[in-house]
Structure 1
Amino acid sequence: MLSCNFAYYSWILLLCSNYILNSFAEDATILSEEDSTLLPSVTNEDDGFKRSPTVGILVALSKPPYGLYSGRREINLPVGKISSLVASLANTNPTNGEQFKLDFIEGALHSPMYYDYHIQNFTKQRLHETLEPGQEASLYYRFKPAPEFAGRSFDLSIVVYYHDNNDNYYAHKLFNHTVNLF
């Protein structure tokens, strides 16, 4: 009886989630293949993440070597093996502008139907870097999807957190895309 109720409620949840959930936008600012300058962040107030408009981001998947993240192609990641991402952050403030203190970076696999449902959390790495006006910094983030998730698709999000001198805190999604695990 318990498994029958569980299956029934799981089915109801699945049906309801299709009506409730919207697709998630990719929030990392990227370079097009032709462009060679960092693009400023795009602010999307309804996703709960506040980004500084003066921090430019460039993201590349380095392992497996997909190159620059564009959000336009299918991403396949191996389970049980380390994958990695490299992000370049640029403080585009003028010389006398705000500096940013990088706090930490973290990643997680989420349910593709409900973002708040975390499937696997990856390591949270504390950062001890300051991004002065006009300065750039590179971040390297490694993660390893669990072997149990092979053959399934999940939303992978990697977020960097930082703050300015006035204690305004920001969270910037470096990567937010559905990935296929194999």
Structure 2
Amino acid sequence: MKLIYLTLLVLPAALLCFQSANTILAKAEEDELDDVVDIEGEDSQVVGDDTLGEDDDSVVKSSQDVDTTILFIKPVTSLGDATFDIQAGFPVEFLVGFINKGAEDYLVESMEASFRYPMDYTYYIQNFTALPYNKEVKPKQEATFAYSFIPNEAFAGRPFGLNIQLNYRDASGNFYQEAVYNQTLNIVEVSEGLDGETFFLYVFLGAGGVLALVLGQQALSSLARRKAPRAAARPLETGTASDVDYDWLPKEVVNQLKKSPKTPKQSPRARKAKRSAGDD
């Protein structure tokens, strides 16, 4: 019982401490993410303006002789689905189709992906690895390229712009860059298994159930003892002459006892009166 009471006293305090630690950790991750957004956004603001500006002659555009398509494998989406949710900490995989409709060869050099600030795509949140391919695509042919990345778990619960760019050249050496995908996605947090907070909650509920059972058993036992009738006093058994065992006596003594007349029992007062008369 002492162990149960001690457990019930300690578990709520431990559960509160665990929840406080989770709150502090989540707040720290949010602050760190805000710092990353501010720092990386300031560093890459000029780059974004140079890349997306329309009046700049140095802007890299896509070729009119090339068509591209994208299909997400993880998470599974339909071909025409533009917006969906991705899971933080889990890989995102997709395929990009490259179709050469022109009359000259194209060399697909690399593909890269990045998270952008959803309100302003010139701000970079996170850049993923540029995967090199260096694959030549002949005229009237097509090729498929695979790419994957893993979103940081600190980004869970926030929307980000996903930008996927394909870099390629033609036979004349002209460089092209096409945004295969440029949409805002929600990064969701997926909780799997039994976390610490849920474990402590189940332990606390189990300890409470055991305590309730013990208290109920004690209450029922006390009530049963109060309602039980008192046992009646058993009569005192007295032995009789017939109950005496004579087997250990010799037969002559047993026969003599059976033949001798039985003297009547006298009360102590009568024996005292008889003794006084004899003295006179």
Q: Given the two structures, how large is their TM-score scaled by the length of structure 2?
A: 0.46
Alignment of 1:78-117 (within 5 A): 78-93=87-102, 97-117=103-123
Which amino acid in structure 2 is aligned with residue 92 of structure 1? K
CA contact (8 A) 1:100 1:164 kept: yes
Which residue number in structure 1 is paired with residue 271 of structure 2?
A: none
Which residue number in structure 1 is paired with residue 67 of structure 2?
A: 56
Alignment of 1:1-182 (within 5 A): 46=54, 48-71=59-82, 74-93=83-102, 97-182=103-188
- Distance in structure 2 (CA, Å) of the matches to 1:67 and 1:45: 32
Which amino acid in structure 1 is aligned with residue 84 of structure 2? I
Extract unaligned runs of 5+ from structure 2.
Answer: 1-33, 35-51, 189-280
CA contact (8 A) 2:110 2:168 kept: yes
Deviations 1:20-73 (A, max 9, x none): xxxxxxxxxxxxxxxxxxxxxxxx9839440111111121111101131443xx
Extract unaligned runs of 5+ from structure 1.
Answer: 1-9, 11-43
CA contact (8 A) 1:87 1:138 kept: yes
Note the aligned Cα RMSD (angstroms).
Answer: 2.0
Which residue number in structure 1 is paired with residue 277 of structure 2?
A: none
Q: Given the two structures, how large is their TM-score scaled by the length of structure 1?
A: 0.69
Q: Which has the higher strand share?
A: 1
With a CA cutoff of 8 Å and minimum separation of 6, indicate the structure with the bigger relative contact order.
1
Give the structure with higher Rg (CA).
2
The CA deviation at 1:111 is 0.5
The CA deviation at 1:114 is 2.0
CA contact (8 A) 1:59 1:69 kept: no
**1:69–1:118 Cα change, 3 Å:** farther
After TM superposition, where is structure 1 displaced by more than 6 Å over at least 4 residues in a row? none
CA contact (8 A) 1:154 1:179 kept: yes
Identity %: 30
- Distance in structure 1 (CA, Å) of the matches to 2:127 and 2:77: 22
CA contact (8 A) 2:109 2:168 kept: yes
* Number of equivalent positions: 135
48-57 or 150-159, which deviates more: 48-57
Which amino acid in structure 1 is aligned with residue 86 of structure 2? L
Which amino acid in structure 1 is aligned with residue 163 of structure 2? S
